[in-house]
Structure 1
Amino acid sequence: MMARVAFVIASHSDLLARGVVELAQQMAPEVFFQAAGGTDEGGIGTSFDKIDAAVSACLDEVGDGDGAGVLILTDLGSATMTVESVLDFADDPDHLKFIEAPLVEGAVAAAVRAQLGDCLNDVADAARNAIGPMIELHSMQQDQQAPSAPTDGVTDTAVVADPVGLHARPAALLARLAATFDAEILVNGTDAASVLEIMALGVKQGETVELRATGPQAAESIVALKEMIENAS
């Protein structure tokens, strides 16, 4: 499915904006991104014209179909004010969404959903729900605080083959695959469809993970995820 959502990454730094775009594109190669960082002169700061041009390019890319639009993410306060000024002058504000979310984690989580063809509202929700630095703490506390995993469903184990483990692109590929099944899938007790939770596990090459799934496509999902994990991309 073609991505319906494009992204503008607005930052005080051109290098930072382009870096976030580079990372997110690894997770979502079919999604359109525009970096709008720094001033017009190339310094640290923000530019109305850069952000406005990036928004226009994104709108041209995704069109005005159902659920289509542009998600704008920023780093710091004055970037927020500049984006708000751009929105005030926008010709098509209904297809633009600017939200508060952690820049890197939000861009990564939302990009994965956009790659799957989700609508603008759902992609924005993924960015909002990216819990940033707290995700690692959440992962570390699961064994003590989370309820015991259900004993029903389909289970299996898989040995991680990818040299980088379940990080970055492998985590994104796994999350995208998990989201295609009508099943609730867990990897080591975390949501297999969440790229951030998968990355937070810190699983390395050669380590074994536990897979568990419930739902109509539980069996198929476990087979597919096991095959992906055990075959380096």
Structure 2
Amino acid sequence: MTPVGLLIVSHSARLAEGVVEVAAQMGAGVPLVAAGGTDDGGVGTSFEKVMEGIGAADQGEGVVVLADLGSAVMTAESVLEFLEDSQRQRVRIADAALVEGAVAAAVAAAAGAGLEGVVRAAEEAVPGAEAEEPPELREPTESAVLTLVNPMGLHARPAAVLAGRLSAFDVQVTVNGVDGQSVMALMGLGAGKDSQLVVETSGPDALKALDFVRAQVEAGFGEL
């Protein structure tokens, strides 16, 4: 299944292409498209480039748009008004820092996060943003204490794997007291090799979600 795609809208073609280059290092397999500059190569934004970019980035699970300035956001919003309803529902404009948001979104998309999960990852990457409160767990609750065995611990890729895949479950989940469906919250734990993770889940998919986390941790997130 093709991941959620990203469209980078900038007033500068070189800036948009540079952000795509950086994000690609963390988002293997993610459709990444640059829509920078005007149609004649000047500084500004292009309705046509954004329209074409959405089509190019939408290869399976929808598109998240990140823009550098307010007028770029306005261009993207104008394009959305001309899309068919079915396609418009597959596009989100993230309120995120361009570079940090693109990298976080690419990591989340590569890990299999859905459209809303990728938007959330991008928006949480805003410098200085406050972490969200962890979800309130419902009964019944499942829990386990797991030990990280991969050499780098819970760094960006494993955090994105957990947050992205857990977003597909009907579950509330915390890991060491933070939201297990948040890439940035998981990375913020700073959990290295041999660190213990207290995982608690609740909701209809509580056991499935816990089993998924256990399997990933015990397999070292495929990094052993």
TM-score (norm 2): 0.69
User: How far apart are the structure 1 equivalents of 2:168 and 2:74?
Assistant: 38
Structure 1 gaps, min length 5? 63-67
Structure 1 residues 209 and 117: CA distance shift in structure 2, 3 A: closer
| Structure 1 residues 17-32: aligned runs within 5 Å | 17-19=19-21, 21-22=23-24, 25-26=27-28, 29=29, 31-32=30-31
Q: Distance in 1 between matches of 2:94 and 2:142?
A: 38
1:9, 1:21 within 8 Å by CA — same for their partners in 2? no
Q: What is the CA–CA distance in structure 2 between the aligned matches of 1:179 and 1:147, rounded to whole Å?
A: 13
Q: Are residues 40 and 202 of structure 1, via their aligned partners in 2, closer, same or farther at CA, if it must alter by over 3 Å? A: farther
| Kept in 2: contact 1:34–1:54 (CA 8 A) | yes
Q: SS where residue 25 of structure 1 aligns? A: coil
What is the CA deviation profile of residues 109-150 of structure 1, one whole-angstrom value per residue up to 9, with x for unaligned ones?
A: 5874797574x6x46863686363345x538xx7xxx89989
Q: Distance in 1 between matches of 2:104 and 2:38?
A: 24
Structure 2 residue aligned with 1:65: none
Alignment partners' CA distance in 1, 2:210 and 2:53? 40
Amino acid in the other structure paired with 1:218 = A
Q: Is the 8 A contact 2:112 2:161 kept in 1?
A: no
Q: For residue 219 of structure 1, give the secondary structure of its aligned residue in structure 2.
A: helix
| Superposition pairs of residues 69-108 of structure 1, within 5 angstroms | 69-84=62-77, 86=79, 90=82, 92=84, 95-96=87-88, 97=91, 99-102=93-96, 103=98, 104-105=100-101, 108=104
Where do 5+ consecutive residues of structure 2 fail to align? Answer: none
Aligned-pair CA distance for 1:101: 0.7
Asked whether the 8 Å contact 1:16–1:37 carries over to 2, the reply is no
Deviations 1:12-69 (A, max 9, x none): 313443145415624xx4x4331224567878x444154343123235x35xxxxx75
Q: 1:163 to 1:15 in 2, by over 3 A?
A: farther
Partner residue of 2:8? 9
Aligned residues: 213
After superposition, the C-alpha distances for 1:49-104 in whole angstroms (9 at most, x for unaligned) are 54343123235x35xxxxx754322022343344356557x454762445351133
Taking a change above 3 Å as real, the CA distance of residues 174 and 214 of structure 1, as seen in their structure-2 partners, is: same
Matched, 1:58 2:57: yes
Q: How far does residue 200 in structure 1 lie from its aligned partner after superposition? A: 2.1
1:187 is displaced (CA, Å) by 0.5
Percent identity over the alignment?
31
Are 1:201 and 2:177 counterparts? no
Residue type of the alignment partner of 1:126: R
Q: Is the 8 A contact 2:172 2:202 kept in 1?
A: yes
**1:153 counterpart letter in structure 2:** T
1:153-178 deviation digits (Å, cap 9, x = unpaired) = 22221122233321221111112332
Q: What TM-score comes out, normalization by structure 1 length?
A: 0.67
Shift of 1:151: 10
C-alpha change, 1:147 and 1:213, in structure 2 (3 Å) is: closer
Query: Structure 1 residues 198 and 227 mapped into 2: Cα distance closer, same or farther (>3 Å)?
Result: same
